[in-house]
Structure 1
Amino acid sequence: MSPAGPDSARQPSPEHLLVLLEVARSGRYTTAAQALGLTHTTVARNIAALNRALGGRVLVRGADGWELTALGERAARAAEGVAQAMTTLVDGGAAADPVTGVVRMTTTDGFAAYLASPAVARLREEHPGLSVEIVTVTRRAAQHRSGVDVEVVVGTPQVNRGRAVQVAEYELGLYGARDYLARHGTPSSVAEASAHHLVYFVDSMLQVDDLDVPRRLLPGIQDALTSTNVFVHVEATRAGAGLGFLPCFMADRHPDLVRLLPDEVRDRLPYHAVVHPESWRRPAVAAVLAGLRAEAGRQREALLGRPPGAEGQDGAWRSRKE
């Protein structure tokens, strides 16, 4: 960059923009450095140079990593154009598949395993240049983007930045293992179920208010085994640790689990995808969202977890919140 005058001094380098784009996607200097084949120090120097060129900060440190400022979001949009132009150049000007690159997503364990995984597998058949990174976590949507393109959360998120779209709806119910019920009896009422012990999330670590359901529906029930991982809930219930409040699309896969009191102890919750402003423009992110919704449509019956005999009763089968 020539230092000839003030105008040229404020022209950001394409190289600096591409470094910013990688930091924005990962939220980490170290991760961006690894992806670009640079050192952490070089990444930091590029960001500092971009700050000087644009006359302000493009990144601020957030709770989970580096986040784009408003100025950084504008720079990231320009960086996406640079990246796309370079891809076209490398491909010899041919029309390249726009659904390419890495999409980073956070979601719950069950959604990741049974909806996101098959959705990505289908997408990659058509778009082999697509890669999806999934981090499993059960929490509220973050108020600021930190290296994540899509956050799939339980419930209806309240976000100041970004856009939320519902991608699925699922049912939760009370389950017991056949062997456990043979030993301890099958509850026929809420009062009898409350006398058993619960397998569920760790109450003190539960960040999603909408998931605090069984302790309200089963007043006085004591915890048997708690975990932050829903697969632990399923396996602990199968092992006879207690009664589990489980997603039906996970529990109904196991014939050794019996659903209990389906009319009294149930809840239906939405999955929402929160997409941050700078990610909406990426064709790869749009394709992943469409793929998730399509997969949810294919699995709708399993997600809703209707009890035996409820087929064809769409109008009558409602969640307690409706």
Structure 2
Amino acid sequence: MRPCKNVHMLPSRASADDLLVLLEVARSGRFSRAAESLRVNQVTVSRRIAALERAVGGKLLVRAASGWELTDLGRRALAAAEQVDGVLQKLESGSEVGAEIEDVVRLSAPDGFTTFVAAPAAARLHQEHPGISVEIVSATRRAAQHRSGLDIEIVVGEPRVIRARALRLGGYVLGLYATPDYLERHGTPTGFDDLARHRLIYFISSMLQVDDLDVGRRYLPEMRDAVTSTNVFAHIEATCAGGGIGLLPTFMIKPHRGLVRLLPDEATVEMAYWLVAREDTLRRPSVAAMVKQLRQTMREMGNVLSTTAAPEA
């Protein structure tokens, strides 16, 4: 009688279910969030990932400060997982044409971009694709080397990135502003030399993570701090309250706030917003649709981003 083949010696195949678990972990960066999305517990997620690693013969994830990050093998497995997910979405829709996208896009951006660009873009995206929801986190920082849990990062200044793409979205301008009352009390500066007599409202230098935003110290070294904050809206409110001279994004200054633009020919600092995302993430239909909306919103704001929005002194 022929002996039975030992099934335990046969190489295992990657399970489609396990690939979908990897997909959720890659999108969220957390086992807990993946478990919540899949409606299972974290033990099941861990067990599925371990089974997939045994099937493909290597580590798919490594722990990073911000969550779980994909290895090179993990990125290849993720590409397969995205294909499986795409096929399943087509089957569930009953048609390959006009299938509704169901996904969550997670984005981080500085406060001003979040309010004036990301939020309107996300709202229009959701109107066009009701199955896509967008999570926006306000953060002014450098591009992360490990971007688990985020699909898109918006940063100020051209970033140095590894295993990701950086796309320039557009420029904007920083200018000096003050209230008429402040200028009446302290005098109106007519040149850079006069600024040393005034106090600056800007970011906290010691907490600033973005080199390009450290212009307060580079361009205005003689000005002492009045009010500093990690939040640009605090800069605007402190300036409107007459606390000093604010170095502010011109596109965020509403005419009704009564601020006066100072030294526009001399004190104009050009900045730029950049988008950072992994190549595999950019291929997801939901992320591609969000990038399209961000670019469209930036184009529509082109004139506002590059011009003053208050009277000159």
Asked if Structure 1 and Structure 2 have the same fold, meaning a TM-score greater than 0.5 normalized by the shorter chain, the answer is yes
Which segment drifts farther, 83-92 or 152-161?
A: 83-92
CA distance in 1, matches of 2:27, 2:309: 42
Amino acid aligned to 2:105: V
Structure-2 residue corresponding to 1:250: 252
> Residues 7, 112 of structure 1: CA spacing in aligned structure 2 closer, same or farther, 3 A cutoff?
farther
Structure-2 residue corresponding to 1:215: 217
> Residues 306, 225 of structure 1: CA spacing in aligned structure 2 closer, same or farther, 3 A cutoff?
closer
Report SS of the residue matched to 2:89.
helix
CA deviation vs aligned residue, 1:184-204 (integer Å, no higher than 9, x gap): 222222122222111111101
The answer as to whether partners of 2:66 and 2:146 remain within 8 angstroms in 1 is no
Report SS of the residue matched to 1:259.
strand
Within the candidate set 70, 86, 94, 1:84 is matched to 86
> Residues 199, 162 of structure 1: CA spacing in aligned structure 2 closer, same or farther, 3 A cutoff?
same
Amino acid aligned to 1:141: A
Within the candidate set 1, 4, 7, 2:7 is matched to 4
Structure-2 residue corresponding to 1:318: none
Amino acid aligned to 1:4: V
1:144 aligns with 2:146: yes
% identity of equivalent residues: 51
> 1:288 offset after TM fit, Å?
1.2
CA distance in 1, matches of 2:156, 2:205: 16
Structure-2 residue corresponding to 1:115: 117
Report SS of the residue matched to 1:140.
coil
Report SS of the residue matched to 2:54.
helix
Structure-1 residue corresponding to 2:301: 299
> 1:307 offset after TM fit, Å?
6.9
TM-score with structure 2 length normalisation?
Answer: 0.92
Structure-2 residue corresponding to 1:30: 32
Structure-2 residue corresponding to 1:189: 191
CA distance in 2, matches of 1:103, 1:308: 35
Structure-2 residue corresponding to 1:39: 41
1:103 aligns with 2:110: no
Amino acid aligned to 1:212: D
CA distance in 1, matches of 2:92, 2:265: 59
> Residues 132, 192 of structure 1: CA spacing in aligned structure 2 closer, same or farther, 3 A cutoff?
same
> Residues 88, 253 of structure 1: CA spacing in aligned structure 2 closer, same or farther, 3 A cutoff?
farther
CA deviation vs aligned residue, 1:224-268 (integer Å, no higher than 9, x gap): 111111111111111122111111111245432111111111211
CA distance in 2, matches of 1:216, 1:94: 55
The answer as to whether partners of 1:214 and 1:265 remain within 8 angstroms in 2 is no
Within the candidate set 235, 238, 254, 1:236 is matched to 238
> 1:8 offset after TM fit, Å?
4.3
CA distance in 1, matches of 2:128, 2:309: 36
TM-score with structure 1 length normalisation?
Answer: 0.90
The answer as to whether partners of 2:100 and 2:131 remain within 8 angstroms in 1 is no
Residues 143-162 of structure 1: pairs in structure 2 closer than 5 A: 143-162=145-164
> 1:86 offset after TM fit, Å?
1.6
> 1:179 offset after TM fit, Å?
2.5
Within the candidate set 120, 123, 126, 1:124 is matched to 126
1:54 aligns with 2:71: no
CA distance in 1, matches of 2:256, 2:285: 37
Within the candidate set 179, 182, 188, 1:180 is matched to 182
Within the candidate set 270, 273, 283, 1:271 is matched to 273
Report SS of the residue matched to 1:179.
helix
Amino acid aligned to 1:210: D
1:65 aligns with 2:67: yes
Within the candidate set 274, 282, 285, 2:284 is matched to 282
> Residues 276, 84 of structure 1: CA spacing in aligned structure 2 closer, same or farther, 3 A cutoff?
same
Amino acid aligned to 1:112: T
Structure-2 residue corresponding to 1:320: none
Structure-2 residue corresponding to 1:314: none
Q: Tell me, which stretches of 5 or more residues in structure 1 are unaligned? A: 311-322
CA deviation vs aligned residue, 1:28-59 (integer Å, no higher than 9, x gap): 11111111111122211111111111111111
> Residues 6, 261 of structure 1: CA spacing in aligned structure 2 closer, same or farther, 3 A cutoff?
farther
Amino acid aligned to 2:119: S
> Residues 138, 308 of structure 1: CA spacing in aligned structure 2 closer, same or farther, 3 A cutoff?
closer
